[in-house]
Amino acid sequence: MHCGEFDKDLAVQKFQEYLKIKSVHPDPDYASAVTFLERYAKELRLDVKRIEVGANRREIIVMTIPGKDPSLPSILLNSHTDVVPVFLEHWKYDPWAAVKDDKRDIYGRGAQDMKCVGIQYLEAIRVLKVIRKESFQRTIHISFVPDEEINGGQLGMKLFLDTAEFKALNIGFALDEGLANPDNKYSVFYGERSPWWVRVKCHGNPGHGSRFISNTAAEKVQKVINSFLSFRSSEESRLNGDSCMFLGDVTSVNLTMLEGGVQPNVVPEEFIATFDIRIPPSVDLNAFEDKITSWCKEAGDDVTFEFLSKNKNQKTTSTKEDNPWWAAFAGVLQRRGVGIVKEIFPAATDGRFLREIGYPVIGFSPMRNTPILLHDNNEFLNEEIFLEGIEVYCELLPALANLKM
């Protein structure tokens, strides 16, 4: 079943309209996004709910198409409405003007991450529900959540999970964001790395800057940094030495903060090094923590560490044929003749919160032959690729929402 003819200009116009909304941190215009989405839902004759979460009363929009059998577990199509800041001087076009150039590349912050996907869901629904008058066995919910791009989604999706409205969704399977693939393939994500932020405090003898003080904090922090960064090098070589490996398959380590010192002629008694570590689901987390403990021990006495963030969720979604959701999802892409690359998401998305509480989730943004430009300057998506994504969802939604098991 194909999309057939649909109003492509209208779909692109909606995408551009959404890109023009400045839902950008640190002060996102969520009010305009909510107005835009509620108007959109009305246009598509979808039930729509606004759910407030958290102390700052952020709003989550949930649109719903009731299924013929509402007792069946539903399909959730999730996207986030917020985008990351821009460095204006590096953009060739105004990132809030949604300029389409002569190659039909549409520029804007959020063009890939992930306003494209939000519009593709809704335009596929326009084709299926409004134009073709189709209905589905299972209920479909389309959620638009704020604050994915700050505090690791803790203020958006994470808070939504605790609401009665979320529990009432009765989710069976969810789709969330993925990444573009520069080749003629689709990247799909079935899990994520666990982010660990580790702060290592090194204490030593203080003294005058002119002397050879023994057992200084600096010597200890040097050893700590060497241990973390030589592990970083070995993981980087492992990634670069094997063309079948992706970033999501190895542990990345970065020294992100270094604190300490009082004034130039004083040897301080403390240096603090902070590392951002991303650990794939295949790694034994307890063994990895032991490794950190031993690096700190080897650096000398009075070297301690604490976690600023320690995610222990290693749940993945099965991509085997015995998972009927996966089989339905992959079947559609196979019938369309596009290759699939299965990956672990290298960073974090809202999908991990859903996986953690047991839902199967696939991260998928249908962008093949497209450079990965999320959070980058000059983020764009080609019009043809954007429109193809609508066709993909036109096939995916019936396959998932009519799935028998």
Smallest distance, Zn ion to C-beta of residue 349, A: 6
Three-class SS state of 5: coil
> Would you say 248 and 346 are in contact if contact means Cβ atoms under 8 Å apart?
yes
- Between 225 and 354, whose beta carbon lies closer to Zn ion? 354
Helices (H) and strands (E) in the chain, counts: 10, 16
| Residues 355, 350: Cα–Cα separation, whole Å | 9
Q: In angstroms, give the least distance from the CB of 370 to Zn ion.
A: 15
- Give me the least distance between CB of 179 and Zn ion, in Å please: 9
Neighbours of 324 (CB within 10 A): 15
Of 40-48, 110-118, 361-369, 381-389, the segment contacting Zn ion by CB under 5 A is 110-118
Contact assessment for residue 387 and residue 12, using Cβ atoms and an 8 Å cutoff: yes
Shortest CB 365 distance to Zn ion, Å: 8
Q: Which residue is nearest to Zn ion (CB)?
A: 113
Q: Which of 82, 123, 176, 383 is catalytic?
A: 82
Contacting range for Zn ion; rule: CB under 5 A; set: 3-11, 107-115, 133-141, 359-367? 107-115
Enclosing H/E stretch for 76: strand 74-80
Residue (113 or 395) nearer to Zn ion, CB = 113
In the residue annotation, 29 being an active-site residue is answered as: no
CB of 149 to Zn ion, least distance (A): 7
One DSSP character per residue, 193-213 reads PEEEEEEEEEE---EETTS--
Q: DSSP readout, 123-142?
A: HHHIIIIIIS----SS-EEE
Helix, strand, coil fractions of the chain, as percent rounded to 5: 35, 25, 40
Tokens 């003819």 locate to: 5
Applying CB under 5 A, among 53, 114, 125, 394 the residue interacting with Zn ion is: 114
Q: Residue 103, by phi and psi: left (phi above 0), alpha (psi -120 to 50) or beta?
A: alpha
Q: Which is nearer to Zn ion, 14 or 115 (CB)?
A: 115
**Residue linked to tokens 């389309």:** 142
Under 8 Å between Cβ of 280 and 193: yes
SS3 94: coil
> Would you say 113 or 388 has its CB closer to Zn ion?
113
- Smallest gap from Cβ 25 to Zn ion, in A, equals 12
How many residues in the shown chain lie near Zn ion by CB under 5 A?
3
- Please list the residues that pair with 270 across neighbouring strands: 203
Q: Quick check: is 148 catalytic? A: yes
Q: Whose Cβ is closer to Zn ion: residue 19's or residue 224's?
A: 19
Instruction: Rule CB under 5 A: say whether 113 interacts with Zn ion.
Output: yes
Instruction: Select 113 or 391, whichever has its Cβ closest to Zn ion.
Output: 113
- Give the torsion sign (CA, 370, 314, 318, 65): negative
Q: Which of 59, 123, 147, 148 is catalytic?
A: 148
In the complex, minimum distance from the CB of residue 175 to Zn ion, in angstroms, rounded to a whole number: 13
Closer of 148 and 395 to Zn ion (Cβ): 148
- Closest to Zn ion by CB, 123 or 148: 148
Which residues have CB under 8 Å from 377's CB, separation 6+? Answer: 86, 87, 90, 91
Site for Zn ion in 124-153 (CB under 5 A): none
Site string for Zn ion, 167-206 (x = CB under 5 A): ----------x-----------------------------
Binding mask 290-309 for Zn ion (x = CB under 5 A): --------------------
Q: According to CB under 5 A, which residues from 327 to 386 bind Zn ion?
A: none
Report the C-alpha gap between 329 and 395 in whole angstroms: 9
* Residue 322, C-beta contacts closer than 8 angstroms, at least 6 positions apart: none
**Residue 136 C-beta: closest distance to Zn ion, Å:** 26
Residue 245, preceding peptide bond in cis (omega within 30° of 0): no
DSSP state of 279: E
Active site residues: 82, 148
Residues that bind Zn ion (CB under 5 A): 113-114, 177
